[in-house]
Structure formats: structure tokens, C-alpha cells
Structure 1
Amino acid sequence: MLSVGFLLTTFISIFSIVNPFTAMPVFLALTQDLSNQERNRQARWGAIYMVIILGAFLFGGQYIISFFGISIEGIRIAGGLMIMRFAYSLLNPAEGGRKITPEDEQESQNKPDISFSPLAMPLLSGPGSIAVVLGFGSQTTGVIDAFVVFAAIVLVAVAVYGVLYVAPQLIKVLGKTGMTALTRMMGFIALCIGVQFIINGISMLIA
């Protein structure tokens, strides 16, 4: 399983679920009164916290699954359903999407640091991201495979930081139409991932 192809597949899958593009408007709203240097620091630490959170579920998720007696098949099917629900919100951004409540946004504006909450969790490493990491973690057959998935998480974090770093310029270039189109494209990829997770889980059950 150790291959560039597996690393690339894992990277694309996790990136499409993390989808920093939908986090950009909230991130900019919460950091509008900060200097560019401080905004970049928040983005950097948000990406670092995301690695820590998803890495913890990658390496500790199997113990949690075993403790509750959940099968790998169950994780894949449940994870697939959760990812599909998340994908639907991306395909229909007007009906939902990854947003925080006005109360949470107001609370966050009064916080000196938003890098952990709400940026890292739940904007970047929410239930969908955790589900896809657990799904890939269940496919690993050894330590090397697990570290390939972790490497993909790190690469996603680097990409997330890059997107948030240029967020003020990027959101001007893309505009509302571009953001909607990009969000729906990510939603379609996420939907395919969710369906594949369910297919893999069902295939394991009937094998």
C-alpha cells in the first residue's frame, strides 16, 4: 500500500473534506481586526492544531473503536454516511455548509486566539475530517502505512496554511461565484469518497 499513489489519494481525500476554502470567509471575519502578521500566526497554529487533532484520531482511533466494540466495516459505512451528509452541504451551500453559529462567531471575536477553536476545531478538523481519517486508518496494515496517512495530513495542513495565508487576495479573485463553484467541486469529490467508503464497508461485510 506504501506508494505515491496512496499518498496522493489520501491527500486529495482529506483535503476535499477539510476544504479550507469554505473556512476562508469565517477566518477572515474573525481576524478582520488583526494585523497580517497576527492573522498568519492564527492560520499557522490552526494548521498545527489540525495535524495534532487528526493525528490523534489516526493513531488512537483504533483503540477507541476496539473499546466500544465497533467493527471496521461499521466505521467505514458510518463514516461514508457522515461524509455524504457533509458533501451534500457543500453541493448546496445555500442550505448549509460548514459555518459556525452567530453566537459562536461573536464569542470567537472576543477571544484573543481563535487558532484552536473555532479554526482548528470544528472548521478544519470537524466530524467529516475525523471520519475520513478513521476510514483511511482502518485500511492501514502497519506502522508505515499509518505514517503515510499522517504524511498526507501534514501535507494537507501545509496546503491549508497556504490557502489561509493568501485568503484576503484569493477571496477577491474568486468572488462569490468562484467560491460557490469551488465549494461544489469539493463537495462532489467528498460525495464520491463517502460512497466509496460505504461500498468498501458493505463489500467487507458480504465477503
Structure 2
Amino acid sequence: MDQLITAFVTLFVTIDPAGLAPLFIALTAGMSRAERRQVGLRATIIAFVILVLFALAGTAILALFGITLAAFRIAGGLLLFVIAFEMIFEKRAERHERSATRLTSAEMGHLAVFPLAIPLVAGPGAISATILLAGKLPGLAGKAELVGVIAVILAITFFVFALAERIEKLIGDTGRMVISRLLGVILAALAVQYVADGIVAFIAGPQPT
């Protein structure tokens, strides 16, 4: 149960559904409510497929490149810490807003695929976290639990997309900033734990992927 809670918190903080709400509104400006829901549903389904792929085959991909799970834990933890740092100091939101501006000005198609599914929902941080968590939840049962966690979080993400306008009005800019910074601190602590676990495993010797 503790591992499932850790998996949920890690992925929830990394994906940050509440933080994506204002960006979703900006990217879907001019669309009707039904069109927004369709785009949001498609984006979350695509992100789900991507994360499940890495949850099931991520360690095999590491083995293909000769990377130990301990090394990936250290690298993934550092990457998650960078994301946490950006969340605390509002750097992540600024970068996402720039991506949204570029997309809007260029009138790019396939909005659900880019940048919603990739890289806003299933970004490098979420993929790294998924592979790390897959290593901590071994076996068929563990993988099934992780897929369930991913499904729940992406269902929440779709729900946030569907209610993005109401949520933004409810929490306001101040509420969004407070939530983003709080989640950033939690993610930073989890990232440090990943790095510490990776260093211990790395020193102990070669670890199977």
C-alpha cells in the first residue's frame, strides 16, 4: 500500500493536472465545450498508452542500452528534482506557456498529440517516474497496480480538462501558485529519496533491470 501511495503521489505531482488546466484553456481557445472535451479525452488516452508502454517495457528498454536500474534511479531522481525546482520557482509554467504560444501562433494541428499528450502530460518527468516506479513494483501484479495508478491519475487529468474553466475561476492565480509550490516541495523530497536509493543500489553492485 505504501508503494502504491508513493506511486500515486509521484505521478500526480509530476503530471500536475491542476497546473495543466490554464494551459489547456489557452491551447483550446475558441473551441466549444464539446470540442474541448474531445481534445482532452484524446490527449489523456494517448498519454495513457505512452506511460503504460514504459511501465511494461521500460526496464527492457534500459537493458537494451545496458543501463542499470540503479543508474536510472539516480538520473530520474535528478530529473524529477529539476522539475520540482521549476515548479517551486514557477519556471515550469513559464516554459509550458511559451510552448502554448508557439502552437497557437503556428496554428498546428493534432493538438491532442502535441503539446498536450506529449510533452505536457506524458513528458520526460512522467516517463522517468513511470520507469522508476515499475522497478519498485515488480511482477505482473505490481505492473497491473501501476497501470491502475496511471489510469486513475489520467482520469483525474481528463476531469480537470473538462472542468478547466471552473477550476481556474475557483482557485485563482494565488491558489494555483500555492498548490504548484506545495507539490513542488513534495516532489523534491521524493526525488531526493530516488537518488539516495539509487546510490545505495549502485554501490551495492550491478542491479538487474
Do the structures match in fold with TM over 0.5? Answer: yes
What number of residue pairs does the alignment pair up?
201
Counterpart selection for 2:72 from 63, 72, 75: 75
Task: Give the whole-Å Cα distance in 1 for the aligned partners of 2:60 and 2:123.
Answer: 20
- Report how far residue 140 of structure 1 moved: 2.6
Contact 1:8 1:152 in 2 (8 A): no
- Report how far residue 22 of structure 1 moved: 2.0
- Counterpart in the other structure of 1:58: 55
| Pairing 1:42–2:32 present | no
- Counterpart in the other structure of 1:18: 15
| Pairing 1:147–2:106 present | no
Task: Give the whole-Å Cα distance in 2 for the aligned partners of 1:71 and 1:177.
Answer: 42
- Counterpart in the other structure of 1:172: 169
- Report how far residue 13 of structure 1 moved: 1.2
| Pairing 1:104–2:103 present | yes
1:166-205 alignment to 2 at 5 Å?
166-205=163-202
The residue identity in structure 1 corresponding to 2:137 is: T
Task: Give the whole-Å Cα distance in 2 for the aligned partners of 1:96 and 1:116.
Answer: 20
Task: Give the whole-Å Cα distance in 1 for the aligned partners of 2:194 and 2:173.
Answer: 31
Counterpart selection for 1:160 from 151, 157, 162: 157
Contact 1:90 1:96 in 2 (8 A): yes
Report the RMSD for the aligned CA atoms in angstroms: 1.4
**Which string of whole-angstrom CA distances, capped at 9 and with x for unpartnered residues, describes residues 42-88 of structure 1?**
11111111110101111111111001100111010000000000110
The residue identity in structure 1 corresponding to 2:102 is: E
Which 4+ runs in 1 deviate beyond 2 A? 4-9, 95-98, 100-107
Q: Which runs of no fewer than 5 residues in structure 2 stay unpaired?
A: 205-209
The residue identity in structure 1 corresponding to 2:87 is: L
Contact 1:46 1:119 in 2 (8 A): yes
The residue identity in structure 1 corresponding to 2:151 is: V
Task: Give the whole-Å Cα distance in 1 for the aligned partners of 2:138 and 2:23.
Answer: 38
Task: Give the whole-Å Cα distance in 1 for the aligned partners of 2:164 and 2:138.
Answer: 38
Contact 2:73 2:198 in 1 (8 A): yes
- Counterpart in the other structure of 1:138: 135
Q: Which runs of no fewer than 5 residues in structure 1 stay unpaired?
A: none
- Counterpart in the other structure of 2:207: none
Q: TM-score normalized by structure 2?
A: 0.91
Contact 2:71 2:202 in 1 (8 A): no
Query: Any idea what SS the aligned residue of 2:30 has?
Result: coil
| Pairing 1:116–2:113 present | yes
Query: Any idea what SS the aligned residue of 2:169 has?
Result: helix
Q: TM-score normalized by structure 1?
A: 0.92
Contact 1:73 1:204 in 2 (8 A): yes
The residue identity in structure 2 corresponding to 1:103 is: R
Task: Give the whole-Å Cα distance in 2 for the aligned partners of 1:166 and 1:180.
Answer: 18
The residue identity in structure 1 corresponding to 2:15 is: V
**Which string of whole-angstrom CA distances, capped at 9 and with x for unpartnered residues, describes residues 140-168 of structure 1?**
32111111111100010111111111110
Task: Give the whole-Å Cα distance in 2 for the aligned partners of 1:66 and 1:142.
Answer: 17
